[in-house]
Amino acid sequence: MPTQAYLLLSAALFCLGIYGVLTRRNAIGVLVAIELMANAVNINLVAFSRVWGSLTGQAFTLFSLALTVSEVVVGLAIVILLYRAHQSVLTDSASEMKG
Amino acid sequence: MIDWMGSLQILAVPLLLTVSMLVLVFADLLLPAAAQPKGNQGPLSFRDLRKAQAEPVPGVQRADILGWIALVQLALCLAASFVAPQGVLPGGSYVHDAMAVLMERVLLVAGILAILGAFGHVRQSFARRQGEFYALLQCSLVGMTLLAGTRDLLLLVVAFELMGIPLYVLATFAKTDKNAAGDATPGRKSAEAGMKFYLVGALSSAITLYGVSLLYGLSGSTHIADLARIPSSPLLQVASALVVAGFGFKLGLAPFQFWIPDTYEGAPTPVVSFFSVAPKIAGLLALTQILLGGLLGHLQLWLPGLVGMSVVTMTAGNLLALPQLHLKRLLANSGVAQMGTMLIGVFAAATLGAKGHGLSALLFYFIAYLAANTGLFLVIETLAHDGSEPSERDLIASLSGLNRRSPGLALAALVCLLSLAGIPFAVGFWAKLYVFLAAWEAGYAWLVLVAVGVSVIGLFYYLRVARSMYLGEPRVTTPVRSPLTLSVAVTACALATAGLGLYPSVIVEATRTAAAAWLH
């Protein structure tokens, strides 16, 4: 398969992720959308790794995976905290501070 | 043959910070838990835990021990930055040059000030979780000190996350609030602040990472210096726009600055005094590394966008700060405006390079911003400690008549305010002057005029706070009580702001050397 196919797939995933972040009201939904964007990054890195014939991109992917996982762990903990404080995981419910 | 000892010595400060973080975590485990609630030996339910966290247990001195350990550790790291040799790590991913050393010290001082300011807050609000608090702060500092010397996209991304993730946790650290009756309620504001901070942070990381993955794809290497050999293409335009937008979110550059006031308002004040300054410095340094170190040859791709962002950021920050009655929100918006001004230093450095003084002006600005901004947030923390009315907490009204209550504290706050406003002869004046001169030299005269214009708006709200302190009526006339460590931190910030304002030459030379070392 040509490399463009992979890049198009990753671009589509990334845009889907951004769309999800902008439209989802559920905090967990937003987290999933951000995951999609992170996966787009990983596909990109592996595809480019093949193009350049080096393993740097694949090594980068491993780091990227680890980073995403640790970020999501913190994110889910914050969602639990949000639920305890607001009895809801909808992002609209957490809008006391304005101005 | 790799010189392992040499590499370890070059990485001394981040490594020492990592070790001290681990030591702190184990010390937290091993020290006797004095804060256990009495008469409840069985497993604790969440409700019990929450109650126990909310009630300060009398006679708990353990919080202080861990705090002092963390403080001594940071002081040791600061000392280590004076003996660690300069050099390049094998593979060239990390360079410990004069700029990395200077920024390490600035960031460590920010950490020390935050810990000094946090003692009282930690004891009152989360005595049982103090070990984690200080360890997370140090963890974030590891990432920041690495960012100061990184020359590799992979290290940059990892260090950036290492800096960011602990900060999300710190922002949500106030799990309980006290309502008017003094009872503990779930910390709604802190949870909201943390959620907003986290979502923006995670989104910005994903956007930056996507941009970085494209940069890697175009250059075939993760070395930032190798980015220079990428031929200009639409894809490079997209990649640099994504990187700038991602960093824009994280640094709070307009139009991505909407989350900053909410996060600052909800997060614990000592934490805000840290993350309103240190991550901004480290983040802007990282952006400078990519743009100036790698993409300098493609100036036309990112410079117009960044100049526009800077103008919008300065204007929006100053205008949004004008109507604020909440001190933390006011300072948050003023901080946004300050970030816009700092960006001007980046353009000047990008245009003139080693011939101009843009980069050294930027480094000087970092130091000035650290002293004044941290000082003001710690003053807010001092007043919150004094047991101000919950309805008045953190509002400008809580400063009313401060001069008659505690003239020293009012003077310290005034010095910091004048510095942020850029009035002679506080250090902020010189910071603005150097940045503007560098930009003028680089041919951005119109930008300087715009920046001076919007700074005048800034005068209104900074002086409004000062007027409240000096001409307002105090609600009570007793002097403000504050923990000694907090007073020490506030005094240090005010003295640095005033002292460096009178003798800026003390650090000008250091910033020039650092900038020259980086530019070659």
pLDDT tens string B200-255: 999 999 999 999 999 999 999 999 999 999 999 999 999 999 999 999 999 999 88
The full DSSP string for B239-281 is HHHHHHHHHHHHHT-TTS-THHHHHHHHS-HHHHHHHTTHHHH
Question: From the candidates A9, A78, A95, which should be mutated to test the interface with B, based on the most B CB atoms within 10 A?
Answer: A78
> What is chain B's length?
520
Whole-angstrom Cα distance, residue B150 to residue B143? 10
**Under a CB-based contact definition with an 8 Å cutoff, are residues B96 and B10 in contact?**
yes
Q: Which residue has the higher pLDDT, B327 or B39?
A: B327
Q: Which residue has the higher pLDDT, B188 or B363?
A: B363
CB spacing of B191 vs A84 below 8 angstroms = yes
Q: What is residue A92's predicted lDDT score, i.e. its pLDDT?
A: 78
* Domains of chain A, start order: 3-89 (1.10.287.3510)
Q: Say yes or no to pLDDT of B53 above 60.
A: no
Q: ω before B479 within 30° of 0 (cis)?
A: no
Q: What is residue A28's predicted lDDT score, i.e. its pLDDT?
A: 94
Q: What is residue A99's predicted lDDT score, i.e. its pLDDT?
A: 61
Residue B277 sits at φ, ψ, to 5 deg, of -120, -65
Whole-angstrom Cα distance, residue B429 to residue B434? 9
Question: What residues of B are in contact with residue A81 (Cβ under 8 Å)?
Answer: 172, 175, 187, 191, 194-195
Q: What is residue B239's predicted lDDT score, i.e. its pLDDT?
A: 95
Whole-angstrom Cα distance, residue B296 to residue B228? 7
User: Across the interface, which of B202, B220, B262 has its CB nearest the CB of A71?
Assistant: B202
Whole-angstrom Cα distance, residue B347 to residue B362? 10
**Under a CB-based contact definition with an 8 Å cutoff, are residues B493 and B369 in contact?**
no
Q: Any CB–CB contact under 8 A between A92 and chain B?
A: no
Q: Say yes or no to pLDDT of B42 above 80.
A: no
Q: ω before B425 within 30° of 0 (cis)?
A: yes
Structure confidence at residue B9 as a pLDDT band (50, 70, 90): very high
Question: What residues of B are in contact with residue A79 (Cβ under 8 Å)?
Answer: 195
Q: Say yes or no to pLDDT of A98 above 90.
A: no
Q: What is residue B124's predicted lDDT score, i.e. its pLDDT?
A: 83
Q: What is residue A26's predicted lDDT score, i.e. its pLDDT?
A: 93
Q: Which residue has the higher pLDDT, B323 or B3?
A: B323
Q: What is residue A43's predicted lDDT score, i.e. its pLDDT?
A: 96
Model's pTM, two decimal places? 0.92
Chain-centroid distance of CA B391 in Å reads 28
Q: For residue B361, what are the contacts with CB-CB under 8 A and spacing of at least 6?
A: B345, B348, B431, B434, B435, B437, B438, B511
Q: Over the stretch B418-471, which tens digit does the pLDDT of each residue have?
A: 999 999 889 999 999 999 999 999 999 999 999 999 999 999 999 999 999 999
Q: Any CB–CB contact under 8 A between A89 and chain B?
A: no
- At how many degrees (to 10) do helices B358-385 and B427-441 cross? 150
Q: Say yes or no to pLDDT of B193 above 70.
A: yes
CB spacing of A41 vs B189 below 8 angstroms = no
Q: What is residue B137's predicted lDDT score, i.e. its pLDDT?
A: 96
Instruction: Output the six-digit token pair for B149.
Output: 């010397």
Structure confidence at residue B40 as a pLDDT band (50, 70, 90): very low
Q: For residue A45, what are the contacts with CB-CB under 8 A and spacing of at least 6?
A: A57, A58, A60, A61, A64, B213, B216, B217
Span B195-201, average pLDDT: 93
Instruction: Output the six-digit token pair for A66.
Output: 């680890």
DSSP H or E stretch at residue B96: strand B95-96
Q: What is residue B440's predicted lDDT score, i.e. its pLDDT?
A: 94
CB spacing of A91 vs B207 below 8 angstroms = no
Whole-angstrom Cα distance, residue B227 to residue B297? 9
Q: What is residue B388's predicted lDDT score, i.e. its pLDDT?
A: 63
Q: Say yes or no to pLDDT of A3 above 70.
A: yes
Structure confidence at residue B397 as a pLDDT band (50, 70, 90): confident
Span A20-36, average pLDDT: 94
Handedness of CA A82, A83, A87, A88 (dihedral sign): positive
Q: Over the stretch B139-173, which tens digit does the pLDDT of each residue have?
A: 999 999 999 999 999 999 999 999 999 999 999 98
Q: Say yes or no to pLDDT of B74 above 80.
A: yes
Q: Over the stretch B400-415, which tens digit does the pLDDT of each residue have?
A: 889 999 999 999 999 9
**What residue in A sits closest to B47 (Cα-Cα)?**
A84
Q: What is residue B44's predicted lDDT score, i.e. its pLDDT?
A: 47
Going by C-alpha positions, the residue among B137, B107, B161, B145 that lies closest to residue B13 is B145
CB spacing of B196 vs A94 below 8 angstroms = yes
Question: What residues of A are in contact with residue B209 (Cβ under 8 Å)?
Answer: 38, 41, 64
Q: What is residue B34's predicted lDDT score, i.e. its pLDDT?
A: 54
Shortest distance, CA B448 to any CA of chain A (angstroms) = 29
Q: Say yes or no to pLDDT of B359 above 90.
A: yes
**Under a CB-based contact definition with an 8 Å cutoff, are residues B138 and B70 in contact?**
yes
Size of interface A-B (CB pairs under 8 A): 125
Q: What is residue A94's predicted lDDT score, i.e. its pLDDT?
A: 75
User: Across the interface, which of B194, B195, B221 has its CB nearest the CB of A56?
Assistant: B221
Question: What residues of B are in contact with residue A78 (Cβ under 8 Å)?
Answer: 168, 172, 191, 194-195, 198
**So what's the ipTM on this one?**
0.96
When the pLDDT of each residue in chain B is averaged and rounded to a whole number, the result is 89
Q: For residue B390, what are the contacts with CB-CB under 8 A and spacing of at least 6?
A: B178, B179, B180
